[in-house]
Amino acid sequence: MKNLKFIFPLGTLALAACSSAGEKQLPEKPNVLFIYADDIGFGDLSCNGTSSVCTPNVDALASEGIRFTNAHCGAATSTPSRYAMLTGEYAWRREGTGIAAGNAAMIITPERYTLADMFKDAGYQTAVVGKWHLGLGDKTGEQDWNGVVKPNPSDIGFDYSYIMAATADRTPCMFMENGKGVGLDPNDPVYVSYKENFPGEPTGKDNPELLRMHPSHGHDQSIVNGISRIGYMKGGKSALWRDEDIADSITAHAVRFIERSQASGEPFFLYLATNDIHVPRVPHERFAGKSGLGPRGDALLSFDNTVGEVMKTLKRLNLDDNTIVVLSSDNGAVIDDGYKDQAVELLGDHKATGVYRGGKYSSYEGGTRVPCILRWKGKVQPGVSDNLMSQLDWFASFAEMCGVTIPEGAAPDSENQLASWLDASTKGRSIIVEQNIQNNLSITDGRWKYIPAANGPAMNKQTNTELGNNPKEDQLYDLASDPGERNNIAKENTELVKDLRSKLLQEVERGVHYRTLKGEKKK
């Protein structure tokens, strides 16, 4: 869309936003709020076209900001996406960045320079509230969950953290505030294991009669709140979360952080990572049954409510014009992700990935092409951008805005795309590398999509997702005429395939990497 324009010339912005030296009196340092959803697909929000579910608060953001239609997260699952976003480095470059267990050690180690460090260097107060899923502590499985687990987000640039260690479907099922379990009773210590159960503790596998929500696959270990999880835990009863309250707890802590920052007069960077709409989907009673799509749709309403609550807070505190709000998701949509929650049965004709093929876990566009909105009221002209955009670029782009120089070697895959984030009439990225659950890589230039032949199953049979793996054939799609990647035109377009393949190889070779193009470990 070429009719969009940034209201102020960018040069002025870069200067004025950080030094007040510009002619226009722009805020010195706008607050930056990331609302990072879990597993929300491109088609899950009404601003992206669905009529089967209504997300009015997100829609308001979209109508007041730029809605991106070709924005990608770093990978088709959570941990690598979050790793990539916070480090500005593709996760496939590093071993050990796959879906993290609940007792994984910190994946981003303290010596790394992160997006949060960058905001701190710019004078911001920084926080992460919500789903973490990047490991805690320095040794997998050896954390003392009753003490302060270190390292934690405060060691990679976050002044404040209120997080779920991993996911709602993984133990430990309690919030951690600045590294410490919230609400723990010293007389009832908590223990976590991913190796074996604690004697006498019930599990979903052995005690299905205790469950109120049954797994469809996996998720049959420790039972918390009548829901069996991945991993074992024991004790810590007073600290266990009630699934229905997770979203409200996250929202309330986000709101409190915003209030505290406002009172301090410092600008803030808040990474608000929702648990919605990840499994187990157990939204608060006030949303249960409201969407008509079952818990998955109800969780979307809960997500939308969180968006509404934080926006209300910004308005109440007069921070509305002075806060850049970015909304996106950590990977594409999945319908049955391990619990019998009727998501499949009640889906109707809802298309959670929009027109895109695959979904969470996949090399197809449904894996990483996610909802993305940027709103900066009064500064960024509302509209729609079809530019090719990557979450990895938030790092270098906001560094540019804040006038921070990223240390050499940090954020190697992050491009300064500030102009394109703030003005849809500029060009966006030239290429993006996409990563699926098998760590197989593909590449798009926005129009063409090349998926090299690579080992791996065609389907995730458990979730019923097409993964895009084809050991025998290269795949090439013209996303302009075939956004659903149905018509493989690789054979007829050998030159294009050659070109994209060499670009992908170049990208892989450009930095550290431990896997080959095919996802295999390098010899």
Nearer to Ca ion, 333 or 497 (CB): 333
**Which SS3 state, helix, strand or coil, does residue 497 take?**
helix
Cβ distance to ligand NG6 smaller for residue 341 or 485: 341
Rounded least distance, CB 239 to ligand NG6, Å: 21
Residue 44 contact partner, candidates ligand NG6, Ca ion, none, CB within 5 to 8 A by sort of partner: none
Does residue 220 contact residue 203 with C-beta atoms inside 8 Å? yes
Using an 8 Å Cβ cutoff, are 377 and 393 in contact?
no
* Contact range with ligand NG6 by CB under 6 A, out of 89-97, 148-156, 157-165, 216-224: 216-224
Amino acid at 325: V
**29, 112, 278, 351: which one binds ligand NG6 (CB under 6 A):** 278
Q: Is 513 left (phi over 0), alpha (psi -120 to 50) or beta?
A: beta
Choose among Ca ion, ligand NG6, none what residue 217 binds, the Cβ cut-off being 5 to 8 Å by kind: ligand NG6
State which of residues 77, 125, 143, 391 lies at the interface with ligand NG6 (CB under 6 A): 77
Give the single-character DSSP code of 335.
Answer: S
- Distances from the Cα of 188 to the Cα of 114, 235, 237, 239, angstroms: 36, 6, 7, 10
Of ligand NG6, Ca ion, none, which one sits near residue 50, judging by CB under 5 to 8 A according to partner kind?
Answer: none
- Which CB atom, from 38 or from 365, has the smaller least distance to Ca ion? 38
- Residue closest to 310 by CA, chosen among 248, 364, 369: 248
Triad 321, 323, 325: Cα angle to 5°: 115
Binding site residues, Ca ion, CB under 5 A: 38-39, 78, 330-331
Structural tokens at position 181: 């379990």
Please report whether residue 299 would count as binding ligand NG6 according to CB under 6 A: no
Q: Which of 336, 337, 434, 466 is close enough to bind ligand NG6 by CB under 6 A?
A: 337
Q: How many chain residues interact with ligand NG6 (CB under 6 A)?
A: 18
**Chosen residue from 48, 143, 146, 167 binding ligand NG6 by CB under 6 A:** 167
Q: In the bound complex, what is the minimum distance in angstroms from residue 45's beta carbon to Ca ion?
A: 16
Sign of CA dihedral 105, 110, 113, 119: positive
**Using alpha carbons only, how large is the chain's radius of gyration in Å?**
22
Stretch that binds ligand NG6, among 40-48, 212-220, 309-317, 495-503 (CB under 6 A): 212-220
| Number of Cβ within a 10 Å radius of residue 289 | 12
CB of 254 to ligand NG6, least distance (A): 20
Structure-token pair, residue 160: 């404040």
Using CB under 6 A as the criterion, which residues of the chain lie in contact with ligand NG6 when the complex forms?
38-39, 77-78, 99, 133, 167, 169, 217-219, 230, 278-279, 331, 337-338, 462
